[in-house]
Structure 1
């Protein structure tokens, strides 16, 4: 299970997270960056300056900052990602309070899912913040939940990019997911991590989104899946309603 390393360098972590936020969410002002990273305005300004120097960011005429040339390849649509994050966060917090495990929101980006928001639980052993990370959609719980909702035209390119045996296994799993309404990642992306995911109904111009609950395998048992799936489905419907409101 991949959590924040004990030897993490705070400034490097902040810079990498900031680069991900600029790529996924679009232009941000220095004060926005300071608030999102929990740092001072002066620190935010120095981080942005270094990203500009290395072409990971650039300053716009209104003095806000956006993703630079290095990050532009494969950039997601930014407004929908921002709306998804804003709509999902309150419901992720509710999930964490109710279920006691870390909750995530993510969106499909080609053959990957990108995490746009995480709310960590407060247990000592827990799954950490995944914001800004990407995982293969066919392995992650949220990714598989979204893939199960796609029509053949959109699903085929993802499946065709996989090895034949992997594609066949995915097709079988997607049939199960469509029948029961949720997907499970049983240590497919990280040893020691179990996650359950459901798709968020398309709403407010946002599609391909999912929510997940993730826990260390040592604390997970299979009989928890239906309860998790029910809570996730309720949260996903609430996120969709809020997306329609703010969209």
Structure 2
């Protein structure tokens, strides 16, 4: 038997209850959510907006809300997430301060990457906090560098039965990523956002994570690319050294 904590926070309780309702009952309107929770429509709208922001919900063309990526089944990550977060947080902050752009840490999870830490740019127009979000690895800059470091058999296992991915074309793109040592996501996951990523490898050379810099496409400048890649390379080298030391 579970007892409600005496220190329960009603807003947290409402948000968790609403997430569970979306997962269990499916699409609902704001008014449906308000009725189920017994709160005002304005309160339900704010709760749903926060769930959308954190990928627990998404709004369809019919304006009804549905379970988001976080609530849908997802592949587990084999990466040492807690350790990577601990080692990478200082480097993310340094990356952000050095470039004045948002820096992200992501780990592989099947054919996706999951964002586990962000250091947001102080600029008004910036790449936002993506912690908790999962995106297709073959579209994301850091995800591409992780895929590029995989053995061909592992890459085939991920995509051989996925008709939405042109595997021969992906192989060619990943060959270029291996040659360069970094990858670019030019608005593949979000219009107006460009990112540059680089993989983090363990002592055995296997990719366990990736770092990326995300910035408004309007601020992306090819002449600044060597500086961004250099900053990423420095951060990756420090994290890989720390991983080896552990």
Separation in structure 1 between the aligned mates of residue 165 and residue 104 of structure 2, nearest angstrom: 29
Change (3 A) 1:223 1:168: farther
- The match for 2:75 is 74
Contact preservation (8 Å) 2:104, 2:118? yes
Contact 1:88 1:239 in 2 (8 A): yes
Distance 1:218 1:141 in 2: 17
The aligned residue for residue 108 of structure 1 is 108
Whether the aligned pair in 2 keeps the contact of 1:204 and 1:244 (CA below 8 Å) is no
Q: TM-score, normalised by structure 1?
A: 0.69
Unmatched tracts of structure 1, length 5 or more:
1-29, 31-40, 57-69
Match of 1:156 in 2: 156
Quick check: 1:126 aligned with 2:126? yes
Alignment partner, residue 87 of structure 1: 87
Between Structure 1 and Structure 2, how many residues are aligned?
A: 192
1:203-227 deviation line (CA, Å, top 9, x unaligned): 5999430000010001111222222
Contiguous gaps of at least 5 residues in structure 2: 24-70
**Per-residue deviation, residues 117-171 of structure 1 (Å, max 9, x unmatched):** 0000100100100000011000000000110000112111223144377222211
Greater gyration radius: 2
| Cα separation, 1, equivalents of 2:16 and 2:242 | 34
Where do 4+ consecutive residues of structure 1 move more than 4 Å? 70-73, 203-207
**Alpha carbons of 1:165 and 1:85: their partners in 2 closer, same or farther (altered >3 Å)?**
closer
TM-score (ref. length: structure 2): 0.69
User: How far did 1:231 drift?
Assistant: 1.1
Aligned counterpart, 1:14: none
Are residues 42 and 241 of structure 1, via their aligned partners in 2, closer, same or farther at CA, if it must alter by over 3 Å?
Answer: farther
Give CA deviations for 1:29-71 in whole Å, capped at 9, x if unaligned: x9xxxxxxxxxx864x963686489499xxxxxxxxxxxxx77
Q: Distance in 2 between matches of 1:206 and 1:176?
A: 18
